[in-house]
């Protein structure tokens, strides 16, 4: 189902991107997501899984490089266009949208280092890849630490002697990495590369982290079993293990001196993307309910003719438009400035994920017994939506950190906005 976009300034190129992404989501993403949802986590990543044709098709169409500038072989989309495509991906499946995006994390980050050697090693080959064989993951969450490591600027973030589950020590021109990342690493067990966040100075606590870009074929890298979960079952997640992994210093792109600022920027982008995918999910739930209520007859007339149904459908529509407005604003802001203003993305993520869950719940209620059946989409949407309240930062923790940021930074001085490109 197409939708009316209130942005009357969309160009023909924007509309063509939207139409193509929607077709891909409808014809490829949704059927793949449905098939994967019914599989075990091991079956999802096994040879012959629908996951691999999905990734191959995504790479052939160039969607894997939508975040990367054209100068490095990427699609060169502007923030609005990225939002348009990401929303359609989230409409197709939140889990597969995340899976595809996380594949680009290492080459995307390498591109923005400006380091020609890293760009040549990580970014250029990825953008040229058309078979889905190069895939990243984001190694942040640990068994004992998750949302608590995003409190940049708060006192506990700098508390000395906080020990994490993954550490690295310097040995000459190399770093030796030991430890574990948790089962929630998206794309973890199918990754070829990892953007690894690892503690290099325990005396600084969480502030003593560094970021490495690591090929996962280095000796000592291994992967655990894929995670079994109720929602986003089409998104592979799993543990990573590092045992005396020797990593060249050239792969360390950020040290403790810049880690807090980098983490704020990552949070500003990732939360904005989360809000955008949630917009797509909220829209999917709304459209499923709208279509069903037009077709389902009860009491001798379609459900759509009942006043209470009309009210609920309109509330679902309003949530979609709220999600889109917030997520689009957050993406436009934080993909045009560096470092980002994470409070706006956190507000978008918290709001959009909550509203997409409300829409998925209402869709189930409107479908009645059919809403509980796996024959219909809303029950999957509900399970997927529930995960978003925890994913990429627990909403309660994000709100707490957002509140701290407001007390420290609000209002932002407009004459000092750090625009990308000047």
CATH code of 325's domain:
1.20.140.10
Domain count, the chain: 3
Enter the pTM of the model. Answer: 0.96
**Last residue of one domain, picked from the residues 128, 151, 185:** 128
Locate 129 and state its tokens: 């890849």
CATH number of the domain to which 21 belongs: 1.10.540.10
Same domain for 265 and 211: no
Reading the block at residue 301, the tokens are 């007339």
Contact 378/367 with Cβ under 8 angstroms? Answer: yes
DSSP-derived letter for residue 26 is I
Report d(CA 393, CA 398) in Å as an integer: 6
Residue 306 burial (CB count, 10 A): 14
Contacts of residue 257, Cβ cutoff 8 Å, sequence gap at least 6: none
126 Cβ neighbours under 8 A, 6+ residues apart: 64, 65, 68, 104, 106, 107, 134
Are residue 228 and residue 360 in the same domain, yes or no? no
In a domain, 189, yes or no: yes
User: Beta 301-302 vs 221-226: how paired, if at all?
Assistant: unpaired
Indicate whether 309 and 238 sit together in one domain. Answer: no
Same domain, 289 and 385: yes
Residues 108 and 32 in one domain: yes
Give yes or no: residues 301 and 240 share one domain: no
> Are 183 and 165 part of one and the same domain?
yes
Q: Is 255 exposed, middle or buried (0-12, 13-18, 19+ CB in 10 A)?
A: middle
384: Cβ–Cβ under 8 A, 6 or more apart, which residues?
A: 93, 94, 95, 231, 232, 281, 360
Identify the pLDDT of residue 339: 84
Residue 126 near residue 107 (C-beta atoms within 8 A): yes
Mean pLDDT in consecutive groups of 10 residues from the start of the chain, 422 residues: 90 97 98 98 98 98 97 96 98 98 98 96 98 97 80 74 91 98 97 97 92 98 97 98 98 95 92 98 98 91 92 98 98 92 97 98 97 97 98 93 92 80 57
Dist CA 86 CA 22 (whole Å): 10
- Residue pair 376/405 in contact (Cβ under 8 Å)? The answer is no
State the Cα angle at 283 between 279 and 287, rounded to 5°.
175
Any domain includes 421: no
Statement to judge: residues 124 and 163 lie in one domain? no
Examine the domain organization and report whether 233 and 356 are in the same domain. no
Which domain covers residue 410, as residue numbers? 259-416
């Amino acid at each position: 189902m197409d939708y009316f976009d209130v942005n009357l300034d969309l160009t023909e190129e924007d509309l063509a991107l939207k139409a193509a992404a929607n077709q891909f989501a409808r014809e490829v993403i949704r059927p793949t997501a449905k098939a994967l949802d019914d599989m075990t986590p091991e079956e999802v990543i096994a040879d012959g899984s629908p996951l691999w044709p999905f990734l191959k098709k995504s790479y052939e169409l160039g969607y894997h490089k939508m975040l990367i500038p054209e100068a490095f072989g990427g699609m060169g989309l502007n923030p609005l266009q990225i939002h348009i495509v990401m929303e359609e991906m989230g409409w197709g499946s939140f889990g597969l949208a995340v899976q595809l995006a996380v594949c680009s994390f290492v080459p995307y980050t390498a591109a923005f280092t400006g380091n020609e050697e890293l760009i040549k090693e990580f970014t250029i080959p990825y953008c040229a890849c058309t078979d889905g064989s190069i895939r990243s993951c984001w190694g942040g969450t640990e068994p004992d630490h998750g949302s608590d490591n995003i409190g940049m600027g708060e006192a506990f973030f700098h508390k000395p002697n906080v020990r994490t589950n993954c550490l690295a020590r310097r040995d000459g021109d190399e770093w030796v990495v030991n430890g574990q990342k948790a089962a929630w690493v998206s794309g973890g067990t199918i990754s070829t590369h990892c953007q690894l966040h690892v503690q290099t100075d325990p005396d600084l606590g969480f502030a003593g982290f560094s970021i490495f870009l690591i090929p996962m074929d280095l000796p000592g890298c291994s992967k655990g079993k894929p995670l079994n979960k109720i929602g986003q079952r089409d998104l592979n997640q799993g543990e990573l293990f590092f045992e005396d992994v020797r990593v060249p210093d050239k792969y360390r792109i950020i040290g403790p001196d810049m880690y807090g600022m980098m983490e704020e920027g990552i949070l500003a982008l990732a939360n904005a993307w989360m809000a955008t995918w949630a917009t797509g999910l909220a829209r999917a739930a709304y459209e499923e309910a709208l279509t069903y209520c037009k077709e389902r007859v009860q009491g001798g007339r379609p459900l759509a003719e009942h006043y209470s149904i009309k009210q609920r459908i309109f509330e679902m529509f309003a949530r979609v438009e709220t999600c889109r407005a917030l997520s689009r604003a957050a993406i436009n802001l934080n993909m045009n400035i560096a470092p980002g203003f994470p409070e706006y993305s956190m507000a978008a993520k918290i709001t959009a994920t909550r509203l997409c869950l409300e829409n998925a719940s209402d869709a189930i209620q409107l479908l009645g017994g059919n809403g509980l059946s796996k024959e219909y989409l809303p029950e999957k949407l509900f399970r997927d939506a529930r995960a978003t309240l925890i994913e990429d930062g627990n909403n309660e923790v994000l709100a707490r950190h957002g509140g701290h940021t407001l007390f420290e930074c609000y209002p932002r001085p407009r004459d000092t906005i750090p625009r990308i490109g000047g």
